[in-house]
Structure 1
Amino acid sequence: MVFSLKVILFLSLLLLPVLKSSQVTLNNNGYDGIVIAINPSVPEDEKLIQNIKEMVTEASAYLFHATKRRVYFRNVSILIPMTWKSKSEYLIPKQESYDQADVLVADPNLKYGDDPYTLQYGQCGDKGQYIHFTPNFLLTNNLPTYGPRGRVFVHEWAHLRWGVFDEYNVDQPFYISRRNTIEATRCSTHITGVNMVLHECKGGSCIERPCRRNPKTGLYEAKCTFIPNRSQTAKESIMFMQNLDSVTEFCTEKTHNKEAPNLQNKMCNHRSTWDVIMSSEDFQHLSPMTEINSPPRPTFSLLKSKQRVVCLVLDKSGSMYRYLTFMGPSINTIMT
């Protein structure tokens, strides 16, 4: 017997997935309720859990100082796949789930590869959907490319929690400034470096030459790359290049590069990342923790769901029976 259209609609509404809603809260300067979920397709590896813990712990201290002692990560839940066979003692999730997680550890995305990224649909200041890390990123030494993983986590957290954007631009790495000079797209302009074309990189060494200017565009040739000096004094900015040792802060109104053709300027009307961050609800009534130099270390909970069987039970008695009668003979016939 075929269900009536009304019954199908009724059951469909019951089974609709819950819209994504983060459980993260900010209490007394500490973020609680962060969920990091590992995809079931990821091979079991205890080292992955250990590296996640180390990343968040490092990130918490970095975040604390980057926000001028305002916030840190207090507790984090790591959701372990049911496919993992480890006999470790795990807690049972209460409301935590993969679909609602703030951070996903999953296979590479075709667009980003192993690069960390945050899915952002909203406008300036809007929270993102989730942060994505790959197992390879978390298990491999990527220091030359990304810097310490804790710094990368803070970069992505700023996307996710405060709705700021990148201050670099892969598609437009250079621009002509108001002074008619060619500048690298960056924030702040205090970051120094050289503009070079790299050729035949083998065994960690590259043949390089200075960039030539394109007479048609006035900019450097397409293969030109801005290579920051490893020794820097600039502290900004985490949303440009967090892998530089000197970088420990976000660009402020004083250091922000409003000319750079990056997504932060485009989406946020040329406001600095720190201005957007300080305008978020997190910092409206929050005072710095001036009495301490370092935040408490985060605590971690390892969660793992058990196999569950879900049954749909239709009650034919009482008020439900009157409803079924109203719906027509088709559903009544199913229940008899």
Structure 2
Amino acid sequence: MLWEFYTQLSGVLIVSVFCVSGGNIGGTRQEITLSSEGGYGNILVTIEDTVPENLELIDRLKEYFEEASTLLFSATKEQHYFENITIKVPASWTPQPSWQQATAEHTLERARIIIGPPNQAWGDIPYTLQPGLCGQEGDYTHFTPNYLTNLASVRPEKRIVREFAHLKWGLFDEDVPSTDTVSPKFYPKDGTLRPTICVVQNIFGQIIDTSEDNARCTEYNKKTQEYGSGCVFEPIEEITSATASLMYAEHLTSVRTTFFMCMFENLLML
């Protein structure tokens, strides 16, 4: 079935593997295409075979990509949107009348978006594998079923757009992820420590210790000018009205239409 909706996302094709002939197609990822109208297509989403059957997962994927397409259109000043997407489901799932048979092209090795179990490093946090430099396409984006069906309560379409910016355009985050134990999360400037983030006006927050149930961070070494390893800057939603950036704090309600903005105006740590 070609699922069409004409405002942004043109189609989603859902396929299931009943009998696929042929082998691995070189192990390369499927190329994401760009139409003359600015639509991104040929996006293969593969649900790993270990994922239990759950049709709600299909519904959430369709819903979130519809919303993400609208957001992408807005964030790129009406230049780009998602045009068509193929979702490949496991062979063990009960076939639905609207599904089509997959081909040898619909493999995990060629997928640009993978839905699978959490890994040890990231857990349920969405991530994109980016082996290249800034501006170079990523390899694939990973979401867990648990994130899509249970945890994506704060505008999941914004996370999809953020990860697509990693995947297609080679953008990097404008902060240091909590899972990064190497890069400094703060740096000294004008006699104080600033969080390693790109912000615009009106972002307010506090420094919390993730290793102490997000209590206010008290571990600070005056000699080295460093906080403890578990300390991070956390924006406070209720008093923040910043509109950027999707590459830093896309979970904030006020952040919506700007991909990146590296400034340090009106940053206040409470």
- TM-score > 0.5 by shorter chain: yes
1:240 is matched with 248
Deviations 1:244-288 (A, max 9, x none): 111121224xx446xxxxxxxxxxxxxxxxxxxxxxxxxxxxxxx
Matched, 1:227 2:259: no
2-side partners of 1:180 and 1:189: how far apart? 21
Deviations 1:145-199 (A, max 9, x none): xx3211111111011001111121133221112x222111111153221224478
1-side partners of 2:23 and 2:251: how far apart? 45
Q: Which has the higher strand share?
A: 2
Deviation (angstroms), 1:45: 0.6
Matched, 1:195 2:204: no
Alpha carbons 1:40, 1:81 under 8 Å: kept:
yes
Question: Using a 3 Å threshold, how does the CA distance of structure 1 residues 210 and 23 change in structure 2: closer, same or farther?
Answer: closer
SS of match in other structure, 2:136: coil
Question: Using a 3 Å threshold, how does the CA distance of structure 1 residues 63 and 217 change in structure 2: closer, same or farther?
Answer: same
Alpha carbons 2:199, 2:244 under 8 Å: kept:
yes
Matched, 1:130 2:140: yes
Q: Aligned residue pairs: how many? A: 233
SS of match in other structure, 2:72: helix
1:139 is matched with 149
TM-score normalised according to structure 2 size: 0.78
2:156 is matched with 149
Q: Which has the higher helix share?
A: 1
Unaligned runs of 5+ in 2: 1-21, 265-270
SS of match in other structure, 1:35: strand
1:282 is matched with none
**Percent identity of paired positions between Structure 1 and Structure 2:** 35
Alpha carbons 1:198, 1:209 under 8 Å: kept:
no
1:119 is matched with 129
Higher relative contact order, structure no. (Cα contacts within 8 Å, ≥ 6 residues apart): 1
1-side partners of 2:136 and 2:246: how far apart? 19
Matched, 1:186 2:197: yes
Alpha carbons 2:242, 2:255 under 8 Å: kept:
yes
Deviation (angstroms), 1:21: 3.4
Alpha carbons 2:206, 2:216 under 8 Å: kept:
no
Matched, 1:47 2:59: no
Higher alpha-carbon deviation: 162-171 or 123-132: 162-171
1-side partners of 2:220 and 2:108: how far apart? 49
Counterpart of 1:193, as a letter, is: G
Deviation (angstroms), 1:212: 5.1
Higher alpha-carbon deviation: 213-222 or 27-36: 213-222
Alpha carbons 1:128, 1:160 under 8 Å: kept:
yes
1-side partners of 2:211 and 2:29: how far apart? 47
Deviation (angstroms), 1:234: 1.6
Report the aligned-residue RMSD: 2.3
Alpha carbons 1:165, 1:239 under 8 Å: kept:
yes
What pairs up with 1:53-68 in 2 under 5 angstroms? 53-68=62-77
Q: Which structure's CA Rg is the greater one? A: 1
